[in-house]
Amino acid sequence: MLKLKPVAAAIMAITSINAFADGSVIGEISDASGKLSGAKISIVGANFVTASDKQGKFNLSHLPPGQHTLKIDYLGYQPKEVMINVTDSQEVNLGALQLSYAADSLQEAQAIEEVVALGYMHRGNMLAMNMQKEAHNIKNILSADGIGKLPDRNAAEAVQRMPGISIERDQGEGRFVAVRGLPAQWNSTSINGDRLPTAEEETTSRAVAFDFFPTDMIEMVEVSKAITPDMEGDAIGGNVNFITSRAPDEQIFTINIAAGDSEKAQGGSQSFNVLYGDRSANGRFGYLVNATAWERDWATDNYEPRRAIDDDGIAGVHRLELRDYTGTRTTYGLNASAEYLLDNGLVFAKAMYGTLSDEETHYKHRIRFNKNRVELQEIYNELITQMHGFQIGGEHDLDLNTQLNWQLSTYENTFEYGDIPNKEDNAYYVVKFKQAVEFDDDVGQRNGSDTGSGLVYNTIDGGTDPGREIGSHLPDDWVMDPQQAILADVELYGIDVKERDKIVLQLDLTHAYDSQLELKTGFKYREKERNASFYDKFYGWNEAEYGPTPTMADIADDLGVELKDQPGRSDYLDGDMPLSYHQHFSQVIPVNDLKRWWQQNQHKLTFLPEDSQTVENGGGLNRNFDLNESHTSLYGMATYQLNDELTLLGGIRATHTDTEVDGYVAVENDSGTSVEPEKGSKKYWSVLPSLHLTYELDDLRQVRMALTRTFARPDFGQLSPGATYLEMENQLKSGNPELDPTYSNNFDLMYEHYFDNAGMFSVGYFYKQITDPVFSQTYQGSYRDQSVTVKSPLNGDDAWLHGIEFATNTSLGFISPAMENFGFSFNFTLMDSEMDIPGRGDKVKISRQADELYNFAFYFDNNDFSARVAVNHKGEYIEDHGSNTDLDTYYGDYTSVDATASYYLTDNAMVYLELNNLTDEPLEYYTGSEQRPNQIEYYGLRGQIGIKYDFF
């Protein structure tokens, strides 16, 4: 209770100021389709202005007694004026105020008002632009209508078309969200204002993977590029906030059913979404339930030259991996919300659940040039990510000018493998076969001579093989022989991650001091725990007890099954790459039968500790740790409307982070390896001031400026104290719990021009001065009172990033009235950055920062029929820095073309078509140059058709 005394004192102090001065007016702004956010509400002839919130509600306070004219302005709609009579210390409730779509005549306006709900593309643009226009900071908005007009199926994909936003993909689907080209972990992603816990297969970062969260559950997306003090400050690039639906004002019931197909997969896809909500007869209690299910078969063809650095510093190919993936992904989601209206506010509850299950079959053919063998890995696994959360809260009007909002939440995110090969050994299950071969004399050739390296070199490095035509260096008629391919080993790769925000408590107090000044203060507390376990176990055949190691053919005979072609073998990379690699592929044992083989033969295998990574043998310790962390934030801010043109928002946020990590270190000596527990901790305050300025040149033009300070906490894996000490080399490989957070001082300048028909364009500049970025570095340090060579993440030298953004969105009606139903949107972001890497003399770009992002869409919408073609582009970027530019690894540029169309059969029934990846754009990684590829992956065209029906 002692900790709450300052908060209670603040509440009493603020509410005592002008508690009952003047009067106020409240109401709700809507159109024929629903609530309108971002409407401008003002008093004619006086400096009283506010905007409607996400539920269309507004509160205009400190009005003097008497008669006034209240005006409502909304881009794309006719202005509305209402006469009001204000009484001192009383509240005037205007109820629902409905706006009409802008038109040239009253009769035309009435006609359009009847069908405005059908032009969802136009309405989505209007909602987004009005909210962006009336915001006090630099942000972009995407409404549910805007999401529905694009062929994007998860939360990450929904935002990729907004200015300055990019995504990272997995198997062709969006996963991580990045703002202004910065690493995903340097941005924050949240749902309903709460940053979520993370759990992902191969990363230990703080970035949240949003492929588990379907777009059907999203009401709105806010991308804030300049953070205000009432927002969490760990967002160097910005914050992406997904807002789920709240209880409706009247009964709604919507069903959405779709089916589709994928070019490379042998199966199809099915999705189902149902939305139901209602409100009690007295209007006080409302609820909403939204459930969704989406199952889709997928397949990808993957080409991966794996590289090693030779004695001359050249990256040659030591093995060529030809990967053929097939699988089934299933997404389930549930969003439920309820609220009860009090006399002076409301209380609410929200629950959410999302899961992604990916059952994956993977045939990996590996041509190992430096080992003189060919391998086949048959891989079968199920990856399961689950997120659930619960939130309760309240919004309370303490008096006419003061509001208290609170919320209490808890969230949990988990990742685990499914029951493959069984429940006890659930893991990434790999059965590997190998066959000895002799390669031709081109292996090792560079600049006309044999290097003896056993590597294949690309032509860019003086070798024999073009980057996209790396040969097998085997005879053309060679085929892997199941009679000669012996069992190499069995691998169980296990990961289990659970991160839980046990409690997230937030309190916000807002007080309108007078008609020009609004004060806001509050705090937020989060208690987090993360448990991560990892192992990579290898097993080999026990020849001493069970005789010679079996071949692939022997295992098939033992199981009583016939060898078969892998799914999609005949068209592997067909039309995508010039060489026919599949001619060398062996037939395979069906993966379900290999599950059975493990059950029947596990006792015939022996554990191979020298190849495995477990805690017991000192392997993978930096991925085995338990973390407890708390975040405590206090803030204060003020919004001051100096005059009709200028609004200032300023304040400060202070966040205390307390991290404790329990892990292990391994000490290796002549007697073997001993594993010992190790603890690390870090405490620090982050003080984050900010100032935002909005200057209205007129009703439709404004300039924004922001000066902010933000930060990013080190990733979980970087904080792990896990380490391995190699006594013979006097070397310690470890994490670093003492890492400092990365800070950024940010400057933003933006010009925005809006048009009455809900068109707009904007242009802006941003600059970020970044201190203490984290690098992996080798240095001399101390371990147990002795000097050792340490390989550990460290805070490095400063970096900077700057760029320009441009965005426009408009109908083509300004050209000719006949073009009113056509429109386009276009945005681009150009960026550059610079930082120092220890050991390199040149300046390099920030990891994962692309030089350019752009989106272009052309659409048609006549209220009955809508269609859109959209292009999304992300430029290449460095993923990892090497010792020189030729060894930097890049993510290649990516351009996708998608399309959607819809048609209203009736006022309640809409059919639609969605098409993705029309140009079959591959994902590419490379080292130094596109002529030195590391990975090229093709996904094929995907599409679905569906019907959406509104019962009310």
SS (H, E, C) 28-93: EEECCCCECCCCEEEECCCCCEEECCCCCEEEEEEECCEEEEEEEECCCECCEEEEEEECCCCEEE
Tell me how far apart the alpha carbons of residues 896 and 837 are, in angstroms, rounded to a whole number: 33
Tell me how far apart the alpha carbons of residues 835 and 851 are, in angstroms, rounded to a whole number: 15
Tell me how far apart the alpha carbons of residues 607 and 619 are, in angstroms, rounded to a whole number: 15
Pairing assessment for the beta strands 786-795 and 731-734 based on DSSP bridges:
parallel
647, two tokens: 């609004």
Q: Is the pLDDT of residue 590 over 90?
A: yes
Instruction: Name the DSSP class of 586.
Output: P
Per-residue pLDDT tens over the stretch 933-943: 999 999 999 99
Strand partners, 726: 668, 731
Q: What is the pTM of this model?
A: 0.86
937, two tokens: 């992956």
277, two tokens: 């909500």
Tell me how far apart the alpha carbons of residues 630 and 211 are, in angstroms, rounded to a whole number: 27
The three-state DSSP-derived secondary structure of 240-302 is EEEECCCCCCCCEEEEEEEEEEECCCCCEEEEEEEEEEEECCCCCEEEEEEEEEEEEEEEEEE
694, two tokens: 């909005």
DSSP SS3 for 357: strand
How confident is the model at residue 725, as a pLDDT? 60
Name the one residue in this structure whose structure tokens are 């033992």: 558
pLDDT-derived band at 106, boundaries 50, 70, 90: very low
**At CA 237, angle to CA 642 and CA 175, rounded to 5?**
135
How confident is the model at residue 100, as a pLDDT? 83
Q: Is the pLDDT of residue 602 over 50?
A: yes
Burial of 839 (0-12, 13-18, 19+ CB in 10 A): exposed
How confident is the model at residue 114, as a pLDDT? 35
Output the average pLDDT for the chain.
88
How confident is the model at residue 390, as a pLDDT? 95
The dihedral sign for the CA sequence 711, 715, 721, 725: negative
How confident is the model at residue 397, as a pLDDT? 92
Tell me how far apart the alpha carbons of residues 491 and 433 are, in angstroms, rounded to a whole number: 12
Q: How far is CA 698 from the centre of its chain?
A: 37
Q: Is the pLDDT of residue 726 over 70?
A: no
Tell me how far apart the alpha carbons of residues 200 and 417 are, in angstroms, rounded to a whole number: 11
How confident is the model at residue 299, as a pLDDT? 93
Distances (CA, A) of 91 to 59, 344, 358: 9, 11, 55
Integer Rg of the chain from CA: 30
Backbone φ and ψ of 207, nearest 5°: -70, 135
Per-residue pLDDT tens over the stretch 167-193: 887 777 777 888 887 888 888 888 888
How confident is the model at residue 837, as a pLDDT? 81
Q: Is the pLDDT of residue 226 over 50?
A: yes
Q: Is the pLDDT of residue 484 over 90?
A: yes
List of residues 6+ apart from 105 with CB closer than 8 A:
none
